[in-house]
Structure 1
Amino acid sequence: MNTGQMHPGMHPINDDLVRRLVAEQFPQWAGLAVERFPSGGTVNAMYRLGDDMVARLPLVKGGADDVVMERTWLPLLAPHLPTPIPEVLGDGEPAEGYPSPWSVYRWLAGEHPEAGALSEPVLLAGELAEFVAAMRNITLPGAPQAHRGGPVASLDAATRSAIEELRGIPQEGVDCDAATAVWEEALRAPGWDGPPVWLHADLMPGNLLVDGGRLTSVIDFGCMGVGDPACDLFPAWNLLPADAREVFREAVDVDDATWIRGRGRTLSQALIALPYYRKTNPAMTHSARHVIRAVLGEG
């Protein structure tokens, strides 16, 4: 039965808890306003802290590892990237009954781009490709394995299960046979046989910030690590229209097999997200429906 929660076991977080955590651990910021920032994110709660900062608190146990990883790697990645990324200003720890580490970041201005409403899609495609290429060329040692960064086949069971679940939700109108065909093409494509490359691994519209249609920041690196470069091709289908998609494809300079794997991975994420979030997260379900239409409409 749907409880209205995105995930089981979510930590209860509210304004008062965040104020207490800030006052206890960062007394220099205790007098600043605290306000929940509406977000379509699925792993963290976001609270504006004054005008220039944001507190980010994991909603579920698994998000704690992402906090620690970002503290370690964001300062090392930032000098290599053409686009601003989050800067950690404070390392929060469990307290006040809240069980996870959490962080305070510098606030990054901008708005999330919306598929179908981009003012500069071709320019944005080029800037996204520049970011992806810069990530791919980083050579920092000791990198973690990216979430979703392994072989496409590792997603097969979950993807097929989602397709079957969507067959039972006819009101979503998903052509499940067409989705299966695209997915099976991705499975047949040659796998990545080069060294694993650095990835953001979650380039969703909600993890991008734009101003005047241009890319200003990339946020939420909780899935980052090394793996198959196909994992960072998501914007081609979750955000960009067809003409800008081709600009992005040429600029990221990947072979056909990587492009096919990228399309399959993007579709897989959408197929899994749609039945899971359709009653709890409108932003995620809107994005998932867009991806499914974009991928299945290519043929």
Structure 2
Amino acid sequence: MFARAARPALTVARSAPIKQQQAGMATLKEIDQRLKSVRNIEKITKSMKVVASTKLTRAERAMREAKKYGTASNELFNETKAEENVDAKAEKKILYLAMSSDGGLCGGIHSSVTRAVKKQLLEQPGKIAIVGDKPKAQISRIAADSIVVSFSAIGKDVPTFAEASAVADELVKADAEWDEVKIISNHYLSAIAYEARETTVVSAAALSEAAGFQAYEMEEDVSKDLAEFSLANAIYALLVEGHAAEISARRTAMENASNNANDMMASLQLQFNRGRQAVITNELIDIITGASAL
């Protein structure tokens, strides 16, 4: 009678270690699957870092060549800069050109441009033109009504002067009058640093009225052609510099992602080893307990 009464309890006692073992194995299997996923992600981010490092050398070389265009434009606008009072500044029609790209996985490269545009709009409202789908999506949430034109598929590779000229032509043809174009883009500081800056380009009318421009005698009014060409020069130089900043930011982001994946793999491997040791210990306990009972 006693043996029959104790048999259900013995059955439960024997099945408990089996259930614990099955639960432990399931947990180990989940950890192992997660470990494989993180390992695959680390391989991808490491490969993307190598690709970005290779592209960065080319982008830096193109940036150094393109800066010659930007230097020429800056000299022109600095020499023809007119003195203005506060009222004239308030009455100016501003067109903000936010320049970034369509690509992702590059840290806060697009957010820096968006924040700079938002800050400028609070100081002086104006119309907005955008280069890149990423900044367009962000700016549309804060100033969708102010966007007059946008561009995409620019800067997938090193930007060319033809792309910059196309952007400048569309800005001239855009349904928005402007006295100044304030180009907001990322400036390359180093391989690990960048910041959003503003570059001002004046219109043909403002250029022709400048004292530095009127000092020269010209038979024909070339201010319109000169202003458009200088705008294209400035856009080209800033596009190439922004491209270099984006590549460097992507390289840094992929390096950080790889480091985080390595840390996660180390943590998961430690967790997996501890779980496996616990399962082995439970099995040894069961074996020793059964041998002692026999």
TM-score (norm 2): 0.23
Larger radius of gyration: 2
Please identify which structure carries the higher helix content: 2
The structure with higher relative contact order (CA 8 Å, sep 6+) is 2
